[in-house]
Amino acid sequence: MTTTVPLAPPVMPQRVVIGHAMHPQLAEVLLKRRPSLVIRGRLPGDVTTEDLTWADTYIGFRRPPAAASMGSVRWVHSTGAGVDGWLMGDQPLEAGILLTRSSESFGPAIAEWALARVFAFQQEVVPLLDAQRAGRWAPRDVPRVAGTRALIVGTGDIGRAMARLFAAVGMTVRGVSRSGTSGEPAFTSMHRLDALPELVGDADWIALVLPDTPDTRGVISREILARCRNAVLLNAGRGSVVDESAIPEALDQGWLRGAALDVFTVEPLPSHSPLWRDPRVLISPHSSGPSTVDATADGFLECVDALARGELPRWTIDRGRGY
């Protein structure tokens, strides 16, 4: 059931806490465009209970660590497209607080992240670098990326951008979504999520760009991984979508030949995780789609303008769906 939220905060935003590493730059841009705002900037870990009691609005990627309560905050604006940091876990955002997300398109950046890793695996960049460091000449036949088959699970803005980039280098691209539709011509075919068991065995690349919702959690289970046939798994959505504990087995069994992972069940990835030490795995620290100052400011101020008109911003999160 969708949680009911008020049409607008009780007052227009006046006192804003930014809990993000880019808070100095973001505050500067916002104050130039809305001088009436009063802004406190903090790193997320430095946000205090007093800050949240003072503020009516909070900008950040997830709930600040010290926030047992969001105090006087009536509106939270997420700096990311995903809002699981606000809705999932032990302390979901309180009912009655408006939740909006960034309007920024992360698709182009994440598509570049994915394509870079496709070429890294196909061109065997890591083994060649190891050979170089050892002073060893290591000739090999490297097949082209063109003609390989990609399966993109999640066909929103990010999945569509990825499909266009993959298709541009000659890959055949199939898409999977909850509805089984997309409207993006770069997909050669579209399928529903329940078709995954039949689709993964025919894919060379399986790219995941799903949000963390009750419907997507654990979609790539051990059973699904066992149906793969020497594919490379690329995950730039959320770690909860995959049974992370099954990835080492999938690599050892040949279900996967590699994995490029930007997101994890626990972040930062714990130092004891075997994924760190596996040469078949490429790890990046949830950095495939960084938020930018200008786009974050644009999205926030677009929401402010909507609220001033008495409208619910178009970037408002449907809590029932999780996005």
Please give the positions annotated as active site.
238, 267, 286
CA 284 to chain centre: 12
**What are the φ/ψ torsions at residue 42 (nearest 5 degrees)?**
-145, 155
CA distances to 4, 64, 88 from 94, rounded to whole Å, are 11, 14, 11
- Close Cβ partners of 148 (under 8 Å, ≥ 6 residues apart): 122, 171, 172, 204, 205
What DSSP designation does 61 have? S
- CA distance linking residue 81 with residue 317, whole number of Å: 10
Nearest to 313 by CA among 8, 4, 2: 8
User: What is the dihedral sign for C-alpha 142, 227, 284, 294?
Assistant: positive
**What are the φ/ψ torsions at residue 192 (nearest 5 degrees)?**
-85, 160
DSSP-derived secondary structure for 251-320: HHHTSEEEEEES--SSSSPPTT-GGGG-TTEEE--S-SS---HHHHHHHHHHHHHHHHTT---TTB--TT
Angle 110-116-122 from CA coordinates, rounded to 5°: 135
The helix-helix angle for 125-133 and 107-122 (nearest 10°) equals: 60
- CA distance linking residue 90 with residue 95, whole number of Å: 14
